[in-house]
Protein backbone atom coordinates (compact mmCIF):
# COMPACT_ATOMS: atom_id res chain seq x y z
CA UNK A 1 0.00 0.00 0.00
CA UNK A 2 1.20 3.51 -0.72
CA UNK A 3 -0.51 4.96 2.38
CA UNK A 4 -2.58 7.16 0.08
CA UNK A 5 0.53 9.15 -0.90
CA UNK A 6 -0.24 11.65 -3.62
CA UNK A 7 2.29 13.36 -5.86
CA UNK A 8 1.78 16.54 -7.86
CA UNK A 9 2.48 16.50 -11.58
CA UNK A 10 6.23 16.61 -12.31
CA UNK A 11 7.80 19.99 -13.14
CA UNK A 12 10.54 20.24 -15.78
CA UNK A 13 13.17 22.27 -13.91
CA UNK A 14 15.87 22.33 -16.61
CA UNK A 15 13.58 22.65 -19.65
CA UNK A 16 16.31 23.00 -22.29
CA UNK A 17 17.67 21.29 -25.40
CA UNK A 18 20.70 19.74 -23.67
CA UNK A 19 21.15 16.79 -21.37
CA UNK A 20 20.37 17.57 -17.74
CA UNK A 21 21.31 14.85 -15.25
CA UNK A 22 22.69 13.97 -11.81
CA UNK A 23 20.19 16.11 -9.86
CA UNK A 24 20.69 16.65 -6.14
CA UNK A 25 18.40 18.42 -3.70
CA UNK A 26 18.24 19.89 -0.24
CA UNK A 27 15.30 21.34 1.64
CA UNK A 28 14.82 23.60 4.61
CA UNK A 29 11.26 24.19 5.76
CA UNK A 30 9.21 25.11 2.71
CA UNK A 31 12.29 25.97 0.59
CA UNK A 32 13.66 23.43 -1.89
CA UNK A 33 17.11 23.78 -3.51
CA UNK A 34 18.12 21.76 -6.60
CA UNK A 35 21.41 21.45 -8.55
CA UNK A 36 22.30 19.35 -11.60
CA UNK A 37 24.80 18.84 -14.42
CA UNK A 38 23.81 20.34 -17.76
CA UNK A 39 25.47 20.19 -21.17
CA UNK A 40 23.20 22.59 -23.06
CA UNK A 41 26.36 24.47 -24.04
CA UNK A 42 27.80 21.65 -26.19
CA UNK A 43 31.42 22.57 -25.39
CA UNK A 44 31.11 22.21 -21.61
CA UNK A 45 29.11 20.73 -18.79
CA UNK A 46 27.99 23.23 -16.15
CA UNK A 47 26.32 23.12 -12.76
CA UNK A 48 22.86 24.66 -12.71
CA UNK A 49 20.74 25.65 -9.71
CA UNK A 50 17.15 26.53 -8.98
CA UNK A 51 15.07 26.98 -5.85
CA UNK A 52 11.47 27.06 -4.70
CA UNK A 53 10.15 28.97 -1.69
CA UNK A 54 6.65 27.50 -1.89
CA UNK A 55 7.32 23.84 -1.22
CA UNK A 56 8.06 22.96 -4.85
CA UNK A 57 4.98 24.50 -6.46
CA UNK A 58 7.15 26.85 -8.55
CA UNK A 59 10.88 27.42 -9.11
CA UNK A 60 13.05 30.37 -10.12
CA UNK A 61 14.70 30.39 -13.57
CA UNK A 62 17.81 28.13 -13.47
CA UNK A 63 21.17 29.80 -12.77
CA UNK A 64 24.55 28.58 -14.10
CA UNK A 65 26.71 28.38 -10.95
CA UNK A 66 29.95 27.04 -12.47
CA UNK A 67 29.89 29.08 -15.70
CA UNK A 68 33.42 28.26 -16.91
CA UNK A 69 35.08 26.68 -19.92
CA UNK A 70 35.72 23.32 -18.28
CA UNK A 71 33.70 20.28 -17.38
CA UNK A 72 31.82 20.83 -14.12
CA UNK A 73 30.24 17.62 -12.84
CA UNK A 74 29.00 15.72 -9.79
CA UNK A 75 27.23 18.55 -7.88
CA UNK A 76 26.25 18.34 -4.22
CA UNK A 77 24.10 20.76 -2.23
CA UNK A 78 23.25 21.34 1.42
CA UNK A 79 21.42 23.98 3.46
CA UNK A 80 22.06 25.01 7.05
CA UNK A 81 19.41 25.60 9.67
CA UNK A 82 19.86 29.38 9.33
CA UNK A 83 19.26 29.29 5.55
CA UNK A 84 22.82 29.34 4.17
CA UNK A 85 23.14 27.24 1.02
CA UNK A 86 26.36 25.48 -0.06
CA UNK A 87 27.18 23.78 -3.37
CA UNK A 88 30.27 21.74 -4.28
CA UNK A 89 31.31 19.98 -7.50
CA UNK A 90 34.20 18.47 -9.44
CA UNK A 91 35.73 20.79 -12.03
CA UNK A 92 38.42 20.70 -14.69
CA UNK A 93 38.42 24.33 -15.82
CA UNK A 94 41.14 24.57 -18.51
CA UNK A 95 42.09 28.03 -17.21
CA UNK A 96 43.55 26.38 -14.11
CA UNK A 97 46.39 23.92 -13.71
CA UNK A 98 46.06 20.36 -14.99
CA UNK A 99 43.91 17.84 -13.18
CA UNK A 100 40.54 18.20 -11.54
CA UNK A 101 39.59 20.22 -8.50
CA UNK A 102 36.74 20.49 -6.06
CA UNK A 103 34.94 23.83 -6.24
CA UNK A 104 32.47 25.21 -3.72
CA UNK A 105 30.34 28.29 -3.38
CA UNK A 106 27.78 29.59 -0.92
CA UNK A 107 24.82 31.86 -0.42
CA UNK A 108 24.19 33.64 2.86
CA UNK A 109 20.92 35.03 1.48
CA UNK A 110 18.85 31.87 1.59
CA UNK A 111 19.92 30.75 -1.88
CA UNK A 112 19.08 33.99 -3.67
CA UNK A 113 22.62 35.20 -4.41
CA UNK A 114 25.87 33.22 -4.41
CA UNK A 115 29.46 34.29 -3.87
CA UNK A 116 32.24 33.38 -6.29
CA UNK A 117 33.35 29.74 -6.48
CA UNK A 118 36.37 28.78 -4.35
CA UNK A 119 38.93 26.07 -4.98
CA UNK A 120 38.86 23.62 -2.09
CA UNK A 121 42.00 21.76 -3.16
CA UNK A 122 44.82 23.11 -5.31
CA UNK A 123 47.23 20.27 -5.90
CA UNK A 124 47.11 19.58 -9.65
CA UNK A 125 45.60 16.24 -8.74
CA UNK A 126 42.54 14.31 -9.66
CA UNK A 127 39.91 15.26 -7.10
CA UNK A 128 36.42 13.78 -7.44
CA UNK A 129 33.20 12.78 -5.72
CA UNK A 130 32.60 15.64 -3.29
CA UNK A 131 30.17 15.34 -0.39
CA UNK A 132 29.08 18.36 1.63
CA UNK A 133 27.17 18.88 4.88
CA UNK A 134 26.22 22.11 6.64
CA UNK A 135 27.53 22.22 10.20
CA UNK A 136 26.25 24.70 12.75
CA UNK A 137 26.10 28.34 11.77
CA UNK A 138 28.28 29.38 8.79
CA UNK A 139 30.32 26.18 8.49
CA UNK A 140 30.47 23.12 6.24
CA UNK A 141 32.20 19.78 6.25
CA UNK A 142 33.48 18.75 2.83
CA UNK A 143 35.06 15.44 1.78
CA UNK A 144 36.30 14.22 -1.60
CA UNK A 145 38.44 11.56 -3.18
CA UNK A 146 41.81 12.33 -4.72
CA UNK A 147 43.85 10.00 -6.90
CA UNK A 148 46.95 12.18 -7.29
CA UNK A 149 49.46 9.71 -5.88
CA UNK A 150 47.20 7.20 -4.21
CA UNK A 151 43.44 7.05 -3.94
CA UNK A 152 42.72 8.86 -0.68
CA UNK A 153 39.81 10.64 0.96
CA UNK A 154 40.33 14.22 2.12
CA UNK A 155 38.37 16.40 4.56
CA UNK A 156 38.21 20.17 4.94
CA UNK A 157 36.21 22.51 7.16
CA UNK A 158 34.83 25.58 5.39
CA UNK A 159 33.62 28.82 6.97
CA UNK A 160 31.15 31.13 5.26
CA UNK A 161 32.33 34.76 5.13
CA UNK A 162 30.02 37.80 5.12
CA UNK A 163 30.58 38.28 1.36
CA UNK A 164 29.34 34.68 0.70
CA UNK A 165 32.88 33.46 -0.05
CA UNK A 166 34.08 30.33 1.75
CA UNK A 167 37.40 30.02 3.59
CA UNK A 168 38.72 26.47 3.78
CA UNK A 169 41.26 25.04 6.18
CA UNK A 170 44.06 22.83 4.92
CA UNK A 171 42.73 19.44 3.79
CA UNK A 172 43.33 16.60 6.22
How confident is the model over 83-123, as pLDDT tens digits? 999 999 999 866 666 678 899 999 998 898 999 888 887 66
Closest CA to 27 of 54, 8, 45: 54
- Quick one: pLDDT at residue 94? 61
- Quick one: pLDDT at residue 69? 84
- Quick one: pLDDT at residue 146? 86
Overall size of the chain counted in residues: 172
- For 30-66, the pLDDT digits (tens) are 999 999 999 987 788 999 999 999 999 999 999 999 9
Amino acid sequence: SNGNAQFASPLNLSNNTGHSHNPQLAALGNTVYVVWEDDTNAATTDIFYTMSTDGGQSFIHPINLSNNEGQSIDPRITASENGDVYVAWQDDDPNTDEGTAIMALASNSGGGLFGDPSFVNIDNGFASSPSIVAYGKNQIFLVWGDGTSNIDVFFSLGTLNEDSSISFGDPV
